[in-house]
Amino acid sequence: MNKMLICPYRIGLTGTLQEAKTHELVLKGLFGSVHKMITTKELMDRDKISQMNIRLLQLRYDETDRKKVKDMTYNEEVEFIVTHEKRNSLIAKMASTLPGNTLVVFLRIEHGKDIFDRINTEKQLYYVAGETDKNSREAVRQMAESNDVVIVASLGVFSTGVNIRNLHNLVFAHPTKLK
């Protein structure tokens, strides 16, 4: 952006402006004032995006597990969480039993394969990651448009730009820390 010296108009569009002030300050420096054109709620009211109902399931680990992670680094804690037997079994059970289409997203390949192997469902079950070719990814996406399926997919592959209009459940299997 700094090298675009002869550029009278700079427009940046996003649906996910982070709450962190540093992101907003950087964007203001590059593009000028931030203008909020429409909210997610307004888009839902106008039937431009799917209606959303967010349910947060917060897992409470037992005292033994909490003591184990107390002095771990962030990466060690993430490793502990994504290999946690009870947690992964719960995610697989949810994916197996939730009504409608379910998309389970993961970050680490081993974690995604572990969850995929644990899922026991009557629905069609698909695994999508970086090694899945483009045509197969599109076939899985199209299958979800007209059938109840379970898709276990890498966040890197099924995040930005993937539109599944008939999606009922989204499960974030990878742990995150955020507001």
Span 111-144, pLDDT tens digits: 999 999 999 999 999 999 989 998 998 899 889 8
Residue that is written with structure tokens 């469902």 in the block? 121
Percentage of the chain lying above the pLDDT 70 cut: 92
CB of 159 within 8 A of CB of 92?
no
pLDDT at 8: 82
pLDDT at 151: 93
Burial of 96 (0-12, 13-18, 19+ CB in 10 A): middle
pLDDT for residue 43: 86
Give, as one character, the DSSP assignment of residue 98: S
In this prediction, residue 103 has a pLDDT band, given cuts at 50, 70 and 90, of very high
Most confident of 40-49, 52-61, 67-76: 67-76
Domain 63-172 falls under CATH 3.40.190.150: no
- Residue 19 pLDDT: 60
Q: 7: how many CB neighbours lie within 10 A of its CB? A: 8
**pTM recorded for the entire structure:** 0.77
Residue 50, pLDDT score: 77
Region 52-74 average pLDDT: 89
Q: Looking at the predicted structure, is the pLDDT value of residue 179 above 60?
A: no
What would the mean pLDDT of 160-166 be, rounded to a whole number? Answer: 75
The pLDDT of 16-23, averaged and rounded, is 63
Report yes or no: 163 and 103 within 8 Å, Cβ to Cβ.
no
**Percent of the chain topping pLDDT 90:** 49
How far apart CA 28 and CA 60 sit, in angstroms, is 40
Query: How high is the mean pLDDT of the chain?
Result: 87
Please give the average per-residue pLDDT across 69-74, as a whole number: 92
pLDDT exceeds 80 at position 54: yes
